[in-house]
Structure 1
Amino acid sequence: MTVLNVQDLSVRIGARTIVDSVSFAVEREKTVGIVGESGSGKTMTVLAATGLLDAPGARVSGVSTLGGEVHLVGATPKALRSVHGARIGFVFQDPGTSLNPLLTLERQITESLETHRNLTRRAANDRALELLEAVGLPEPQMRLHAYPHQLSGGQRQRVMIAIALACDPELLIADEPTTALDVTTQAQIIELVRTLQRDFGTAVVWISHDLGVIGQVADDVTVMRNGIAVEQAPIMAVFDNPRDDYTRDLLAARPVLERAGPGPVADAETLLDVDGLDVSFAVSSPVGRSTVHAVKDVSFRIRRGTTLGLVGESGSGKSTVAAALTGLVTPDAGTATLAGDDVFSVKGRAARDMRRRIGLVFQDPFASLNPRARVDTSIAEPLVVHKVVDGKDARHRRVGELLDLVGLPAEFAQRYPHELSGGQRQRVSIARALAAEPDLLILDEATASLDVSVQARVLELLSRLQSELALTYLLIGHDLAVIRQLSHDVLVMRAGEAVENRPADDLFAHPEQQYTRDLLAAVPPRTPRAAV
C-alpha cells in the first residue's frame, strides 16, 4: 500500500524555483532515501509534501496524498493538525532544539497521545513508559521525569523517535536524524528505526547528505541537486550503476575504511609529548555537586610532520585533551612538552607564545567565526595579536597568501561568514589557525558538521597542506573512516581512558580491543545493507 504519494511537487519563493517537479512514493514498511548536499532542496521537498513548509512568500504546487485520501498540499491548518503527530511522525536533525527544554520527557510524549488518541493521563503515562522502553532508553522509569538537558545526544534522539511513534503513525519523516551523532550511536538509531518499522509497519522517508547512511536504511533513493531529482532508483541500482555524475561524486566522497591512509613514515622527532594527563570537573546536579573525571592518566606522543588521530564517542574525553593543550582548562595532573618546552606551567608572555604555537580548528565554523567581522579581519587577528607580521600592507599580503593556501580567491577577504558556504567557512577557519604559523594544529571534529562531499574536499586540503608545509596534526573525531584518511597513528579513548594507541595501519588491520572493533563495525560499509 502506498502511504505517501508525491507528484510533480514544486516550490517557488519569489522568482526562484527551490524544488522543481519532484515525484516519489513510499510504501508501507519501505524506506525512501532522499539524498543531496546542503541546499539541494531535499528538506524543502519533504516539508512541502507534508504541509509543514512555512517560508514567507513560498508557493507550492503539485499533489501530495497520505494514504490515498488526505491531500496535504493546500490543506487547511485544521486538517494538517489532525494528521501531524497522529498519522505522520517527525524526527529532526537536532533533538536539542526540537525538544522543549521546560517540559519533562513524560509530558512531551503524552501531549500527542492526549491530543490525538484521547487517552487519560494515566493511560498516556503508561504508553510513554512503553515507548521509552521500546526505543532502548536506559532506566526508562527514572527518565520519564528527566528534562532534555539531562540526556546525551543519542538519548535525546531516542526520545524524539518515541514522540514521533507515540500514535503509531503510518509515515515517519527522519530528517538527518543521525548527522550530529557518533557512528556507534548512529548505527544504533538506524537499527532502532528498522526494528520499529518492522514491528509497526511504518513507511519512512529518510533525508541525508550521506549515501553511506542511506545505503543502510533505504529501499529506494531519490538523489537531489539544485531542487531537481537527478536520479531515482532502487538502492542497489544506485550503488552498482549510478547514472548521474553527481551521484557518482556523492558515492566517491563517502568516508570508507577501505580507502588507504597516508601510510607509515620514516622515524621523526617527537613534537608533542603528553604524559599522565588527568582532568576533572566539578558539576552541579539536583542531588548536589559531584566530580566528573573527564581524562584519566592519558599519555601519547605526536611525531613532527605526522597526524595522530584521537577517536572516541561523545564523552570519551577527547575534546578535553584539546582544551587542556590549548589552555582552555587546567589539568589536575600530568605534563606536556612541545618541542621540549613545557605546555601546562608557562605563565605570562611565555603562555601567549605557547598559545601561538598550538592552533585550533573547531567543529562549527559558523559559530567560531565572528559574524560581524569580514574574512580578512578574522584571518588577520592572530597576525596582530602575536605580531607575526608588521604593518597593514604586510598583513593584507599575508591574508591573501593564506586564502590562496586554503584554495579561496582573494576577493573572499571582503566577505562576511554568512556569505560563505559551510566548506568555505571551514577553509577560512583553517587559514586563521595557520596565520600564527603553529607547530601543532588541533582539528577538533573539524569536518563533522559538513556534507560528505565538502568533507572530502576539506580532508584533501588538509592532506595537501601537511605535505607542502610539513604540518603536524592532532585530528579529533568519532568516525574511524575519517580518521583513517589522514592519520599515521591512532589513539582510541573511552570514558576518559586510552584504550589503544598504535600505528594506524596496525590498528585498522588488527584492532586489539573490543571497543575499537565496535567503532570499526559502526562505520557504514561500502556496500548497502540490501547487498548483504
Structure 2
Amino acid sequence: MTVLGVKDLSVRIGSRTIVDGVSFDVDREKTVGIVGESGSGKTMTVLAATGLLDAPGARVSGSSTLAGDIELVGAAPKVLRSVHGARVGFVFQDPGTSLNPLLTLERQITESLQTHRNMTRRAATERAVELLDAVGLPDPQTRLHAYPHQLSGGQRQRVMIAIALACDPELLIADEPTTALDVTTQAQIIELVRALQRDFGTAVVWISHDLGVIGQVADEVTVIRDGVAVEQAPIMEVFDHPRDDYTRDLLAARPVLERSGPPPVDGDETLLDVAGLDVTFTTSSPVGRSTVHAVKDVSFRIRRGTTLGLVGESGSGKSTVAAALTGLVAPDAGTATLSGDDVLHVKGKGAREIRRRIGMVFQDPFSSLNPRVRVDTSIAEPLLVHKLVDGKDARRRRVGELLDLVGLPAEFAQRYPHELSGGQRQRVSIARALAAEPELLILDEATASLDVSVQARVLELLSRLQSELTLTYLLIGHDLAVIRQLSHEVLVMRRGEVVENRPADELFASPEQEYTRELLAAVPPVRPRAAV
C-alpha cells in the first residue's frame, strides 16, 4: 500500500523555482532515501509534501496524498493538525533545537498522546515509558523527569524518535537524523529505526546528503539537484549502475575505509610532545557540585609534517585536549612542548608567540567567523595581532595570497560569511588559521558539518597544503573513514583515556582494542545493506 504519493510537486518562492516537478511514492514498511547536497531542495521537497512548509511567499503546486485519501498540498490547517503527530511523525537533524528545553521528557512525549489519542495523563505516562524503553534509553522511568540538556546528543535523538512514534504514525520523516551524531550512535539510530519499522510497518522518508548512510536504510533512492529529481531507482541500481554524473560524484565523495591513506613522510623530528595531560572540570547540578575527569594521563607525539588522527565519540575528551593545547582550558597536570618550547605554562609575550605557532580550525565555520566583518578583515586579523606584515597594501596582498592558497578567488575578500557556501566558509577559516604561519594546525571536526562532496574537496585541500607547506596536523574527528584519508598515526580515546595509539596502516589493518573495532564497524560500508 502506498502511504505517501507525491506527484509533480513544485515549490516557487517569488520568481525562483526551488522544487521542480518531483514525484515519488513511499510504500508501507519501505524506506525512500532523498539525497542531495545542501541547497538542493531535498528538505524543501519533503516539507512541502507533508504540509509543513511555511516560507513567506511560497507557492506549492502538484499533489501529495497520505494513504490515498488525504490531500496534503493546500490542506486546511485543521486537517494538517490532525495529521501531524498522529499519522505523520517527524525527526529532524538537531534534537537540541527540536526539543523544548523548558519541558521534561514526560511532558513532551505525552503531549501528542493526550492531543491525538485522548489518553489520560496516567495512560500517556505509561505509554511514554514504553516508548523510551523501545528506543533504548536506559532507565526510562527515571528519565521521564529529565530535561533535554541532561541527555547526550544520541539520547536526545532517541527521545525525538520516541515522540515521532508515539501515536504509531503511518509515515516517519527523518531529516538528516544522524548527521550531528557519532558514527557509533549513527549506527544505533539506523538499527533502531529499521527495527521499529519492522515492528510497526511504518513507511519512512530518510533525507540525507550522504549516500553511504542512505545505502544502509533505503529501498529506493531519489537524487535531487537544484530542485530536480535527476535519478530515481532501487538502492542497488543506484550503487551499481548510477546513470547521472551527479549521482556518481556523490558516490565517489563518500568517506570509505578502503581508501588509501596519505603517503609516508621522511624524518623523525618530534614537533609536539604531550605527556601525562590531565584535565578536570567542576560542574554544578541540583544535587550539588561534581568533578568531571575529562582527560586522564594522555600522552602522544606528532612528527613534523605528519598528521595524528585523534578519534573518539562525543565526551571522549578529544576536544578538551585541543582546548588545553591552545590555552582555552588550564590543565591540572602534564607537559606539552612544541619544538621543545613549553605550551601549557608559558605567560606574556611567550604565550602570544606559542598561540601564533598553533592554529585552530573549528567544526562550524559559520559560527567561527564574525558575521559582521568581511572575509578580508577576518583573514587579516592574525596578521595585525602578530604584526606579521606592515601596511594596508602588504596585508591586502597577503590576504590575496592566502585566498589563492585555499582555492578561492581574490574577489571573495569583499564578501561576508553569509554570502559563502559552507565549504567556502571553511576554506576562509583555513586561510585565517594559516595567516599566522603556524607550525601545528589543529582541525577539530573541521569537515563534520559539511556535505560529503564538499568534505572531500576540503580534505583534498588539506592534503595539498600539507604537502606544499610541510604542515603538521592534529586531526580530531569521530569518523575513522575521514581520519583514514589524512592520518599517518591514529590515537583513539574513550572516556578521557587513550585506548590505542599506533601507525594508521597498522591500526586499520588489525585494531587491537574492541572499542576501535566498534568504531570501524560503525562506518557505513562501500556496499549498501541490500547487497549483504
Same fold, TM exceeding 0.5? yes
SS at match of 2:194: helix
Structure 1 partner of 2:414: 414
1:431-446 to 2 correspondence within 5 Å?
431-446=431-446
SS at match of 1:319: helix
The answer to whether the aligner puts 1:277 opposite 2:274 as a matched pair is no
Structure 1 partner of 2:84: 84
Q: Is the 8 A contact 2:8 2:63 kept in 1?
A: yes
Structure 1 partner of 2:304: 304
Q: Is the 8 A contact 1:263 1:505 kept in 2?
A: no
The answer to whether the aligner puts 1:21 opposite 2:12 as a matched pair is no
SS at match of 1:370: coil
AA aligned to 1:223 is V
In structure 1, list runs of 5 or more residues that go unmatched.
Answer: none
1:217, CA displacement in angstroms? 0.1
The answer to whether the aligner puts 1:213 opposite 2:231 as a matched pair is no
1:9-408 to 2 correspondence within 5 Å?
9-408=9-408
SS at match of 1:145: coil
User: Which 4+ runs in 1 deviate beyond 2 A?
Assistant: 263-268
SS at match of 2:527: coil
1:396, CA displacement in angstroms? 0.4
For each residue in 1:472-515, what CA deviation from the matched residue of structure 2 results, as whole angstroms up to 9, or x when unmatched? 00000000000000000000000000000000000000100000
Distance (Å, rounded) in 1 between the aligned partners of 2:88 and 2:204: 10
For each residue in 1:393-434, what CA deviation from the matched residue of structure 2 results, as whole angstroms up to 9, or x when unmatched? 110000000000000000000000000000000000000000
Distance (Å, rounded) in 2 between the aligned partners of 1:149 and 1:430: 31
Q: TM-score, normalised by structure 1?
A: 1.00
For each residue in 1:29-69, what CA deviation from the matched residue of structure 2 results, as whole angstroms up to 9, or x when unmatched? 00000000000000000000000000000000000000000
AA aligned to 1:300 is F
SS at match of 2:293: strand
Q: Is the 8 A contact 2:36 2:223 kept in 1?
A: yes
Distance (Å, rounded) in 2 between the aligned partners of 1:192 and 1:268: 46
Distance (Å, rounded) in 2 between the aligned partners of 1:408 and 1:384: 22
Distance (Å, rounded) in 1 between the aligned partners of 2:378 and 2:142: 47
AA aligned to 2:475 is L
Q: TM-score, normalised by structure 2?
A: 1.00
SS at match of 1:281: strand
1:265, CA displacement in angstroms? 2.7
Q: Is the 8 A contact 1:264 1:505 kept in 2?
A: no
SS at match of 2:491: strand
AA aligned to 1:396 is R
Structure 2 partner of 1:452: 452
1:138, CA displacement in angstroms? 1.0
Distance (Å, rounded) in 2 between the aligned partners of 1:359 and 1:266: 23
1:141, CA displacement in angstroms? 1.0
AA aligned to 1:353 is E
AA aligned to 1:57 is G
AA aligned to 2:339 is A
Q: Quick one: percent identity of the two aligned structures?
A: 88
Distance (Å, rounded) in 1 between the aligned partners of 2:325 and 2:241: 47
Distance (Å, rounded) in 1 between the aligned partners of 2:268 and 2:42: 47
SS at match of 2:102: coil
Distance (Å, rounded) in 2 between the aligned partners of 1:111 and 1:241: 46
Distance (Å, rounded) in 1 between the aligned partners of 2:378 and 2:264: 36
AA aligned to 1:379 is I
Distance (Å, rounded) in 2 between the aligned partners of 1:195 and 1:292: 35
SS at match of 1:232: strand
1:267, CA displacement in angstroms? 3.2
SS at match of 2:100: coil
Distance (Å, rounded) in 2 between the aligned partners of 1:437 and 1:139: 51
Structure 2 partner of 1:471: 471
AA aligned to 1:209 is H
Distance (Å, rounded) in 1 between the aligned partners of 2:357 and 2:265: 23
1:286, CA displacement in angstroms? 1.3
Distance (Å, rounded) in 1 between the aligned partners of 2:242 and 2:268: 44
AA aligned to 2:37 is E
Distance (Å, rounded) in 1 between the aligned partners of 2:138 and 2:511: 28
Q: Is the 8 A contact 2:30 2:204 kept in 1?
A: yes
Q: Is the 8 A contact 1:278 1:332 kept in 2?
A: yes
Distance (Å, rounded) in 1 between the aligned partners of 2:502 and 2:39: 40
1:139, CA displacement in angstroms? 1.2
The answer to whether the aligner puts 1:494 opposite 2:494 as a matched pair is yes
Distance (Å, rounded) in 1 between the aligned partners of 2:483 and 2:286: 38
* RMSD across aligned positions (CA): 0.4
1:266, CA displacement in angstroms? 2.6
For each residue in 1:256-304, what CA deviation from the matched residue of structure 2 results, as whole angstroms up to 9, or x when unmatched? 0000001433332000000000000000011100000000000000000
Distance (Å, rounded) in 2 between the aligned partners of 1:423 and 1:268: 33
Q: Is the 8 A contact 2:265 2:305 kept in 1?
A: no
AA aligned to 1:155 is Q
Distance (Å, rounded) in 2 between the aligned partners of 1:416 and 1:61: 35
Distance (Å, rounded) in 2 between the aligned partners of 1:264 and 1:131: 51
AA aligned to 1:373 is V
SS at match of 2:206: strand
Q: Is the 8 A contact 2:493 2:500 kept in 1?
A: yes
The answer to whether the aligner puts 1:505 opposite 2:498 as a matched pair is no
